[in-house]
Structure 1
Amino acid sequence: MVAKRGRLDRFISKACQISLRQVKPLLAQGQICVDGQWVSDAALQIDSFSTISCQGQLLQERQRVYRMLHKPVGVVSATEDPIHRTVLDLIDGPAIPGLHLAGRLDLNSTGLMLLTNDGRWSKRLSAPETKVAKHYRVGVTHPITPDYIQAFAAGMYFEFEDSTTAPVILTIVADRVADLVLTEGKYHQIKRMFGRMGNPVLSLHRFRIGGLYLNGGPDADRTSPLATDLAEGQWRDLTASELGLFVD
């Protein structure tokens, strides 16, 4: 889903069904426009979000889309599923080619999800090296004792991935409720970590990604940009200031 880059002349040749040799005079005559600029460089690198026209004819125009959604229980984090409703099924309006999930939540988990058609953005957001923090509120079966704090901070080794989890910040909120901060997202990581402690998870809700909060969030810094309240199943586009929270 990453927007692949390529040469402008090859794109024009394919889009207009002409030879590369025929593209050259069009460039020399100033007949090709990319993102509002007349260009003459045949090797100019373009991608699927470049707006391109040739001799006044629009060949490509695709806008980047960035959305947030409040996922309910019972909705699967996938683009399609033969049994359950998917996150994309909650998005009304015309279908957007390439729209996908930037991160996932389990079927019975709830909370903040991000969607985009910009593969570079979602890849960067999910990459471990970027260390974008995800915040969760977790309800469990048995009381959470202070020793959990050190166990989660030290990390846990999982044979499935043959790796140890990065440090997780655990804050005890109530007898059976904790807030967690993760900078990675291994398969069912939170449930597996509590499972290692012999304490099954009953509820899992993600309320924050980076500086973006869902409905304020229990630890919201009120001086930071906050997300507009979204009921379960609702979505909206990110504002420019919210999108700026994820720009290096």
Structure 2
Amino acid sequence: MERLQKVIAQAGVASRRKAEEMITQGKVKVNGKVMKELGTKVSTNDKVEVAGVPLVKEVPVYYLLYKPRGVISSVKDDKGRKVVTDYIPEVKERIFPIGRLDYDTSGVLLLTNDGDFANLLMHPSGEVDKVYIAKTKGIPSAEQLKSMKKGMMIEGEHMKAAHVKVMSSENKKNTAIVQVVLHEGKNRQIRKMFEALGYPVDKLKRERYGSITLQGMNAGDARPLKPHEVKQIRQLAEENVK
């Protein structure tokens, strides 16, 4: 017997957190009856429906996309804009992005149909390094970078960088290339932190997610993750969550 939300997540319909929302909203039926109780457990013999669609367990798949700028980190967009799954059209499974990158941000984006895997990587305690390179208008000082590591209150949210350093700067152009490492992933976090310091971000790219990099890839390229890559990043997150 498994918890209903876990079964939905493992089937690739959504992350476990989203599955819980769907249950409480009355969108899930077990053997024809609506189930709103999160503690409900089901067996392989139970018939589960989500939004009227019978649940079919998929084989888990894992993909890396070099997300270009100007693409939505979603599986669909009501405004008809490009979404990340448009770059992996051959995948038959119902994959979804793990977290998101802003519309104007490029770089490493992982996609899967494994809700448990996605939930593990997005868990606040996972502390998987997400390494970004930002080009800022203006050159932040060492003291200002320290404030990013200490943590900043922005729009009522506490935002913090695990590590930050200036890689290079151009005094004539008054720009800097700054490496930022995050463990969390709040909406537009890096842009908001630099803007709060007075240094708007001109370009932003996620170069690494755990041990996974963009080596040998161009913007718009996608590939399946290798089994050892999935194992490595899963182990890293599990160790930190423990």
Shared fold, TM over 0.5: yes
Alignment of 1:56-205 (within 5 A): 62-81=58-77, 82-97=79-94, 99-159=95-155, 162-175=156-169, 176-205=176-205
Out of 219, 231, 238, the residue aligned to residue 244 of structure 1 is 231
1:172-201: CA deviations, max 9, x gaps? 101111000000011110000000111110
1:85 deviates by 0.5
1:18 alignment partner in structure 2:
none
Out of 2, 14, 18, the residue aligned to residue 9 of structure 2 is 2
* Change in 2 beyond 3 A, CA 1:3/1:62: closer
- Judge conservation of contact 1:136–1:204 (CA < 8 Å) in 2: yes
* Change in 2 beyond 3 A, CA 1:92/1:193: same
TM-score of the two chains, using structure 1 as the length reference: 0.70
1:158 deviates by 2.3
* Change in 2 beyond 3 A, CA 1:74/1:167: closer
**Helix, strand or coil: the match of 2:134?**
strand
* Change in 2 beyond 3 A, CA 1:94/1:212: closer
Any unmatched runs of 5+ in structure 1?
A: 16-47, 49-59, 216-228
**Helix, strand or coil: the match of 2:165?**
strand
**Helix, strand or coil: the match of 1:68?**
strand
**Helix, strand or coil: the match of 1:245?**
helix
In structure 1, how many angstroms separate the alpha carbons of the residues matched to 2:221 and 2:157? 36
- Structure 1 residue 208 and structure 2 residue 204: aligned? no
1:205 deviates by 0.4
- Judge conservation of contact 1:155–1:168 (CA < 8 Å) in 2: no
Any unmatched runs of 5+ in structure 2?
A: 1-7, 12-40, 50-54, 170-175, 236-242
**Larger gyration radius, structure 1 or structure 2:** 1
In structure 2, how many angstroms separate the alpha carbons of the residues matched to 1:196 and 1:61? 45
In structure 2, how many angstroms separate the alpha carbons of the residues matched to 1:198 and 1:140? 10
1:123 deviates by 0.9
**Helix, strand or coil: the match of 1:124?**
helix
Out of 199-208 and 60-69, give the one that drifted further. Answer: 60-69
* Change in 2 beyond 3 A, CA 1:8/1:188: same
1:10 deviates by 2.3
Amino acid across the alignment from 1:3: Q
RMSD: 2.0
In structure 1, how many angstroms separate the alpha carbons of the residues matched to 2:134 and 2:96? 26
1:73 deviates by 1.1
Amino acid across the alignment from 2:177: V
Amino acid across the alignment from 1:79: V
**What's the % identity of the aligned pairs?**
28
